[in-house]
Structure 1
Amino acid sequence: MEKKRLSDLPDELLLKILSSLPMFKETLATRLISKRWKGPWKLVPDVMFDDDDTPFKSFETFMSFVYGSLLSTDAQILDRLHLKLNQNYSASDINFWVQIAVNRSVRELRIDLFGKTLELPCCLCSCRTLKELTLHGLCIKIVPPSFRLSSLEALHLLSVKFLGDESVASLLKICPVLEHLVVDQIKNDNVKISNIDVPTLRNLSIRNSKGKHGKRTYVEGSNGFVIKAPSLTELNFEDTLSNFTMFEPMPEVIKANIQVICDQSENFIGSLTSIQHLSLCSLTSKTPYPACTVFSSLKHLELCTCSAGWANLLACILNAAQELRSLKLKSKHSAKYSDPMSLWKEPTVVPDCLSKHLEILEWRQYEGTEQERNVAEYTLANATCLKMATFSTRCRNKNHRMLKKLKSMDRVSKTCQLVFD
């Protein structure tokens, strides 16, 4: 009987044999690998397997390439593995590929499944080198309580669906040293209230929107986030869907970019007691912090002027931010709202930040409305230390009436430079 070599077997049969081997037999599989998988298929430190690439004309060709690359005897340390899988693959295939990456001391892992379900590979529990995990376009199964990602520092959840509210919390609980979290939801999700409770978290970025970037869409029912991250230093929170948000005290946050649509409780930006840089867009009709709040460290404020009550919110913040050095006003959204414009209520006492500290005023999309003229006039008349006031308008005629009015406004600071761009 003629003996057949492993290399004589069809790709489909050979892949079936290799994929059925237990993960701990990787060394044996490497020895059995076909000669046709040697040479050009050498694993580089940063590799992506995408079954939608043109060279892969068939499922078998792609599988041959993946196994040939990962099982190469010349394989070295693997810094990053990206699996971009449009077709259906068994859990054993994905587990096998991830196991090899773990054996290669992988530091970053990304899995894209385009709407399919993922069960986290159990081999990740034994991985001591994995620092960053990105999951994109998939549904994740409930994570067992015993599962641990003990070295994971950064987690990116991009269009990830969960089986229920507790799945979000359970996933975060298995990451005991997590410092960076990104949550990007751009479609309707089945989780109504997302609980983010991570004591070690330093950087949090959340985007919860639908359709075009920044478009606001009101939803019915209770939808939103409860965030408890006492060690957080930087927050990027864009939520144009939720009608409920709660921030627990976050005394370490120094920089925050916040865009929300819902009326907030006093435990909103009032929890950011050490904030230094704040970019805020809010439709709230209430001051989103207790009346006695003082933002003693706030030096730079960017406020969106798209809401009806932006001017009065500005007045409140100016009183609370006694050390403010720079102020930027900008309309980030062009949407029209039904609420009537709240007229500017001039502060009875000039805020300390205007009379003692404000040096830079930058106003983008200045339209010259009555509301805007009143705020501009008050600021220029009371900002004693102002060095530069920049107004960006759509008007290119230097003799336009709007620009003439700005130029004629009294400036208490004799060194203030008025700039138009």
Structure 2
Amino acid sequence: MSCLNVARIGNVHNLDDKLLRSLSSVIHLYLYLTKSMVASCNAIKFSRLIEFCFFPSCYVDWLEPLMIFLQISPKLKTLTIDTDYGCLPPSCNQPSSSTPECLSSHLEIFGWRGYRGREDEKQLMTYILANSKCLKTVGIFLLATCNLEETQKELESMPRNSTSSQLLTSSTQMDWSFTGVI
């Protein structure tokens, strides 16, 4: 039986549980999260997912769905958050109090494209760095709209569970496909 390895889900307004369940076997998932998908997030477990690239919609409180995806993706090794398109509303949620298995056991690479240094982003960044025991590389593309020097210092001062992790920051675009799947 063959499995779908890579899935790219764009701006789908009426995504149903059936389609999302059919994606549960993917290894690489690129997801533009819309409001209609949020309710379906809890119904699926992505047991094979090792790379997740998350593009939150401008109209979704994005932190809670991201935390759900971390909980339902126990083998996740690479996480990229892409908020580079500028209209992302602040999230009013807090990171989870429980640590997802992927953070405590598998996540090696974390990238954030479009990091602004807002309070909700800092909370999530602190949470991921503090709970990721296997983290090797953290790549952050800073938006030029933030105070680059101050934001870089804040990122460098955040406590990390993985003392061997390397923090890379830039205000110019980089290749963010860590696994080579595009």
Fold conserved between structures, TM > 0.5: yes
Q: 1:306–1:333: 8 Å Cα contact kept in structure 2?
A: no
The alpha-carbon distance between structure 1 residues 291 and 329, as it changes in their structure 2 partners (threshold 3 A), is closer
Query: Normalised by the size of structure 1, how large is the TM-score?
Result: 0.37
Going from structure 1 to structure 2, the CA distance change for 1:325 and 1:381 (only over 3 Å counts) comes to same
Partner of 2:42: 291
SS of the aligned residue for 1:371 comes to helix
Q: What do you get for the CA RMSD once the two structures are aligned? A: 2.6
Mapping for residues 209-224 of structure 1, pairs under 5 Å? none
| Structure 2 residue 99 is the aligned partner of structure 1 residue 350 | yes
Letter aligned with residue 67 of structure 2: A
* AA partner of residue 49 (structure 2): L
CA deviation digits over 1:342-381, x for unaligned, max 9?
A: 4233213100000000000011111111121111110000
Deviations 1:186-213 (A, max 9, x none): xxxxxxxxxxxxxxxxxxxxxxxxxxxx
Assess if the C-alpha contact under 8 Å between 1:344 and 1:375 holds in 2. Answer: no
Larger radius of gyration: 1
Query: Which residue is 1:366 aligned to?
Result: 115
Equivalent position to 2:140, from 377, 391, 394: 391
The aligned counterpart of 1:272 is 23
Please, which runs of 5 or more residues in structure 2 have no aligned partner?
171-182
Which residue of 68, 76, 90 maps to 1:324?
76
Q: Is the 8 A contact 2:78 2:110 kept in 1?
A: yes
Structure 1 position 313, deviation (Å)? 1.2
**For each residue in 1:77-112, what CA deviation from the matched residue of structure 2 results, as whole angstroms up to 9, or x when unmatched?**
xxxxxxxxxxxxxxxxxxxxxxxxxxxxxxxxxxxx
Q: Percent identity?
A: 28
Cα 1:297/1:400, change in 2 over 3 Å = same
Whether 1:311 aligns to 2:63 is: yes
Q: Contact 1:304–1:310 at 8 Å: present in 2 too?
A: no
Per the alignment, residue 416 of structure 1 pairs with 165
CA contact (8 A) 1:391 1:419 kept: yes
Tell me which of the two structures has the higher relative contact order, counting C-alpha pairs closer than 8 angstroms and 6 or more residues apart: 2
* CA shift for structure 1 position 394: 3.4
2:9 — aligned with what?
258
Deviation at 1:291, TM superposition (A): 2.8
Following the alignment from structure 1 to structure 2, what is the Cα–Cα distance between the partners of residues 366 and 306?
15
For 1:299 and 1:399, locate their aligned partners in 2 and report how far apart those are by CA, in whole Å.
Answer: 31
Report the alpha carbon displacement of residue 306 of structure 1 after superposing the two structures with TM: 4.1
Cα drift, residue 264 of structure 1: 3.2
The answer to whether the Cα contact below 8 Å between 1:323 and 1:357 also exists between their aligned partners in 2 is yes
Rounded to whole Å, the distance in 2 between the matches of 1:298 and 1:378 is 21
Q: Which amino acid aligns with 1:413?
A: S
Report how many residues are paired.
Answer: 169
Secondary structure of the 2:115 match is coil
**1-side partners of 2:111 and 2:41: how far apart?**
27
Q: For the residues of structure 2 that align with 1:295 and 1:285, how far apart are their CA atoms? A: 19
Which ranges in structure 1 are unaligned for 5 or more consecutive residues? 1-230, 234-251
CA shift for structure 1 position 254: 1.4
CA distance in 1: counterparts of 2:39 and 2:129, whole angstroms: 26
Q: State the shift of 1:267 in Å.
A: 2.4
Whether the aligned pair in 2 keeps the contact of 1:264 and 1:286 (CA below 8 Å) is yes
Map of 1:114-263 to 2, 5 A cutoff?
Answer: 252-263=3-14
